């Protein structure tokens, strides 16, 4: 009969069970190493297979992929603007910043630059750009994306151009050197000379594109300014014509930078002052002569003569004084009644009469001059009053005139300014400049850049190990069997005596003593062969034999405690090794001198009978 028993508790280190109480919350290195080695022991075929497969794929890729070369050129966006002409830029240039440099990187990757390079180098005629051969994997990719193959028709120019643009942009490497103004331009090609040629062409096409962009912008600005200059010229002409018409309408005439009425007013004012001075002078002379005539002076003195400035009176006075001197001398010498003295007195009387007549004539002259000066003063005063009246009217008109002149001057100044800027833009069109310059010219590389053999092999090796380990881990997760004693203890909440390893292949036969005579009972004796039933005897130091001995020790301990001598082995599914295990345990007990009876109670075809 079958008997069951509870195996004695054996000390082990593994997952804690609810019955075993709380344990340490860490995993020791020994346990981790044990789990890792167990995982490798179980899944190493998958890991090795994945490793070899990926390494083989990497080798195929390296053998079928043609080598490519990468050439680099360096372009610099110079922040210091070159000024060949002392003039202000029409476009209002700003110094480059980090955002503008990043924008220039995108410009280098634009289709405008790519089209210029394709047209300049005739890349649509290069098979590398329109029908590239990048190896086996690229061919397979083409088959997958286009399983029916290409049509027999010749591709159009547009299709060739688009293919060349895609190839050029995919192999173009544009990057900024840190936070500097330097941009690295690289191109990857199967031909090192072509790689250097395209890299330099990209830099030159970018510089040409920048020059063309500035030229077009300057030309558009120049066209706009030319139209604006024409409008300003018309506006300035109309404004100046309005000023002239207003002056004509309001009788405003300017000469020497001043208005005519202003000049007349100034001149009349000066003339009035002079007329008043002349009138005052004539009046003073007339008063002086009248005073002399009223005073009854026979002969005016020298002061009056000098003030009158009359030569006739001066001569008559001299004659009079001469006769007076002689008359005095003759009167003393000949007496006052002498005929010579009387004649001299007569002459002196005539001279006084002539002087008085001359003074009267002078008085009439001064009176006439005074009247003339007075009339002239009054005339000038009247003219001045008329000019003042006219000026007051003109001043009212000048307010509107100043507005018209200001508008005309403004339009004229704008016209002159725009004309000057237009001339500057014309100069810039004839000599455009750009801030970008090539500081390093690309040269043909000496070594290939792709494929990177060492890097690909390292990545393939790492990928093979990672993929194999992942697949092995998935197999472990999907495997619903017990692999370790800790799994049995944690899931079944019981102690695991031993774990029997899987034994593969036939067992090597050990030398055995000569055949013994069993007295006709040979048919009841199990004969030795190469089956797994004899693994314990033939391989006593194997893991399988060690596990069987652990079961024997547990059975011995249980028999000493409870006295049970019957052990039963069963399994949930056929071919799980219950007969092999029972046979191995019986051999282990018999090998130390124990007596064992092995019964095969399986209802299916018996392997041990």
pLDDT digits 0-9 by tens, 205-227: 998 888 888 888 888 887 888 88
How far apart CA 61 and CA 53 sit, in angstroms, is 12
How far apart CA 235 and CA 404 sit, in angstroms, is 12
Is residue 188 domain-shared with residue 324, that is, in the same domain? no
Residue at 65 is within a domain: yes
According to DSSP, the β-strands at 69-77 and 436-440 are: antiparallel
As to burial, measured by CB atoms within 10 angstroms (0-12 exposed, 13-18 middle, 19+ buried), residue 312 is middle
Residue at 24 is within a domain: no
Residue at 461 is within a domain: no
Residue at 561 is within a domain: no
Distances (CA, A) of 93 to 89, 96, 488: 7, 9, 80
DSSP code string of 548-585: HHHHHHHHHHHHHHH---------SSTTSSHHHHHHHH
pLDDT at 476: 82
Most confident of the ranges 82-96, 205-219, 328-342, 502-516: 205-219
Q: Of 370, 397, 430, which residue sits at a domain end?
A: 430
Number of independent structural domains in the chain: 2
Q: How confident is the model at residue 517 (pLDDT cuts 50, 70, 90)?
A: low
Is residue 330 domain-shared with residue 196, that is, in the same domain? no
Residue at 401 is within a domain: yes
Is residue 141 domain-shared with residue 220, that is, in the same domain? yes
pLDDT at 499 over 60: yes
Residue at 320 is within a domain: yes
pLDDT at 3 over 60: no
pLDDT at 84 over 50: no
C-alpha 43 chain-centroid distance: 54
pLDDT at 302 over 60: no
pLDDT digits 0-9 by tens, 123-143: 888 888 887 766 665 666 666
pLDDT at 403 over 80: yes
Is residue 281 domain-shared with residue 215, that is, in the same domain? no
Is residue 287 domain-shared with residue 411, that is, in the same domain? yes
- In the chain, % of residues over pLDDT 70: 76
pLDDT digits 0-9 by tens, 44-64: 889 999 999 999 999 988 888
How far apart CA 169 and CA 182 sit, in angstroms, is 20
Higher model confidence: residue 368 or residue 90? 368
The mean pLDDT of the chain is 77
Q: How confident is the model at residue 85 (pLDDT cuts 50, 70, 90)?
A: very low
Question: Cis link prior to 450 (omega < 30° from 0)?
Answer: no
Residue at 142 is within a domain: yes
Residue at 36 is within a domain: no
Higher model confidence: residue 459 or residue 217? 459
Is residue 408 domain-shared with residue 299, that is, in the same domain? yes
Q: How confident is the model at residue 358 (pLDDT cuts 50, 70, 90)?
A: confident
Is residue 291 domain-shared with residue 358, that is, in the same domain? yes
The residues, ordered by sequence, that sit 6+ positions from 315 with a Cβ below 8 Å of its Cβ are none
Is residue 217 domain-shared with residue 286, that is, in the same domain? no
Is residue 131 domain-shared with residue 214, that is, in the same domain? yes
**What range does the domain containing 283 cover?**
257-430
Is residue 157 domain-shared with residue 95, that is, in the same domain? yes
pLDDT at 562 over 80: no
* Angle CA 64–68–73, to nearest 5: 170
Decide: pTM greater than 0.85.
no
Is residue 318 domain-shared with residue 340, that is, in the same domain? yes
Q: Which candidate, 551, 549, 495, 490, places its Cα nearest to that of 12?
A: 495
pLDDT at 8: 40
pLDDT at 193 over 90: yes
The residues, ordered by sequence, that sit 6+ positions from 319 with a Cβ below 8 Å of its Cβ are 351
Higher model confidence: residue 70 or residue 276? 70
DSSP code string of 145-158: H-TT---SSPPPHH
Is residue 177 domain-shared with residue 84, that is, in the same domain? yes
How far apart CA 374 and CA 280 sit, in angstroms, is 9
CB 326 within 8 A of CB 344: yes
Higher model confidence: residue 49 or residue 281? 49
Listed as own residue / partner, the contacts of 307-316 with beta carbons closer than 8 Å and 24 or more positions apart are 308/362, 310/358, 310/362, 312/358, 313/355, 313/358, 313/359, 313/362, 316/351, 316/354, 316/355, 316/358
Higher model confidence: residue 517 or residue 589? 589
Q: Of 388, 413, 430, which residue sits at a domain end?
A: 430
Most confident of the ranges 142-151, 557-566, 584-593: 584-593
Helix 578-591 with 543-562: angle, nearest 10 deg: 70
Q: Which range is least confidently modeled, 102-111, 483-492, 548-557?
A: 483-492
pLDDT at 384 over 80: no
DSSP code string of 116-179: HHHHHHTGGG-HHHHS----HHHHHHHHHH-TT---SSPPPHHHHHHHHHHHHHHHEEEEE-TT
The residues, ordered by sequence, that sit 6+ positions from 19 with a Cβ below 8 Å of its Cβ are 493
Distances (CA, A) of 511 to 34, 394, 506: 36, 150, 16
Task: Pull the structure tokens for residue 457.
Answer: 């092999």
Distances (CA, A) of 474 to 38, 51, 488: 15, 16, 20
How far apart CA 524 and CA 598 sit, in angstroms, is 12
Q: Of 396, 420, 455, which residue sits at a domain end?
A: 455
pLDDT at 151 over 60: no
CB 136 within 8 A of CB 61: yes
Q: Which candidate, 68, 71, 72, 73, places its Cα nearest to that of 189?
A: 68
């Amino acid at each position: 009969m079958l008997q069951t028993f509870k195996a004695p508790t054996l000390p082990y280190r593994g997952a804690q069970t609810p019955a075993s109480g709380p344990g340490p919350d860490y995993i020791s290195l020994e346990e981790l190493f044990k789990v890792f080695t167990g995982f490798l022991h179980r899944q190493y075929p998958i890991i090795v297979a994945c490793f070899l497969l990926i390494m083989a794929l990497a080798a195929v890729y390296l053998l079928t992929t043609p080598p490519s070369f990468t050439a680099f050129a360096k372009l610099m966006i110079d922040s210091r603007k070159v000024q060949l002409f002392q003039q202000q830029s029409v476009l209002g240039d700003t110094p480059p910043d980090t955002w503008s440099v990043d924008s220039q990187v995108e410009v280098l990757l634009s289709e405008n630059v790519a089209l210029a390079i394709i047209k300049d180098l005739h890349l649509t005629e290069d098979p590398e750009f329109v029908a590239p051969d990048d190896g086996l994997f690229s061919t397979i990719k083409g088959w997958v994306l286009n399983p029916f193959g290409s049509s027999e028709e010749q591709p159009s120019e547009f299709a060739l151009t688009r293919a060349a643009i895609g190839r050029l942009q995919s192999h173009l490497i544009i990057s900024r050197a840190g936070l500097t103004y330097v941009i690295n331009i690289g191109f990857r090609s199967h031909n090192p000379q072509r790689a250097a040629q395209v890299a330099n062409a990209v830099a030159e096409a970018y510089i040409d594109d920048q020059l063309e962009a500035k030229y077009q912008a300057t030309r558009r600005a120049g066209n706009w300014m030319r139209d604006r200059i024409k409008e300003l010229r018309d506006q300035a002409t109309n404004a100046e014509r309005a000023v002239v018409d207003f002056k004509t309408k309001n009788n405003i005439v300017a000469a020497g930078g001043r208005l005519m009425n202003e000049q007349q007013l100034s001149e009349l004012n000066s003339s009035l002052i002079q007329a008043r001075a002349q009138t005052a002078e004539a009046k003073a002379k007339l008063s002086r002569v009248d005073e002399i005539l009223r005073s009854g002076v026979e002969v005016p003195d020298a002061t009056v003569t000098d003030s009158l400035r009359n030569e006739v009176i001066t001569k008559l006075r001299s004659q009079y004084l001469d006769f007076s001197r002689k008359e005095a001398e003759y009167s003393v010498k000949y007496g006052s009644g002498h005929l010579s003295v009387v004649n001299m007195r007569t002459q002196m009387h005539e001279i006084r009469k002539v002087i008085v007549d001359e003074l009267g004539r002078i008085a009439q002259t001064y009176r006439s001059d005074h009247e003339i000066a007075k009339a002239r003063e009054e005339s000038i005063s009247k003219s001045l009053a008329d000019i003042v009246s006219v000026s007051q009217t003109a001043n009212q008109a000048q307010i509107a005139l100043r507005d018209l002149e200001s508008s005309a001057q403004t339009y004229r100044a704008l016209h002159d300014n725009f004309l000057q800027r237009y001339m500057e833009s014309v100069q810039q069109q004839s000599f455009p400049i750009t801030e970008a310059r090539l500081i390093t010219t690309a040269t043909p590389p000496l070594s290939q850049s792709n494929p990177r053999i060492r890097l690909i092999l390292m990545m393939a090796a790492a990928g093979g190990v990672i993929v194999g380990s992942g697949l092995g881990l998935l197999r472990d997760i999907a495997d619903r069997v017990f692999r370790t004693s800790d799994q049995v203890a944690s899931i079944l909440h019981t102690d695991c005596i031993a774990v029997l390893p899987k034994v593969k292949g036939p067992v090597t036969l050990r030398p055995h003593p000569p055949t013994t005579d069993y007295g006709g009972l040979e048919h009841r004796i199990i004969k030795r062969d190469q089956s797994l039933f004899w693994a314990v005897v033939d391989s006593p130091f194997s893991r399988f034999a060690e596990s069987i001995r652990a079961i024997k020790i547990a059975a011995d301990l249980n028999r000493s405690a409870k006295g049970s001598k019957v052990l039963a082995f069963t399994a949930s599914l056929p071919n799980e090794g219950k007969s092999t295990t029972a046979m191995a345990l019986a051999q282990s007990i018999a090998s130390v001198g124990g007596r064992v009876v092995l019964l095969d109670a399986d209802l299916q075809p018996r392997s041990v009978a």
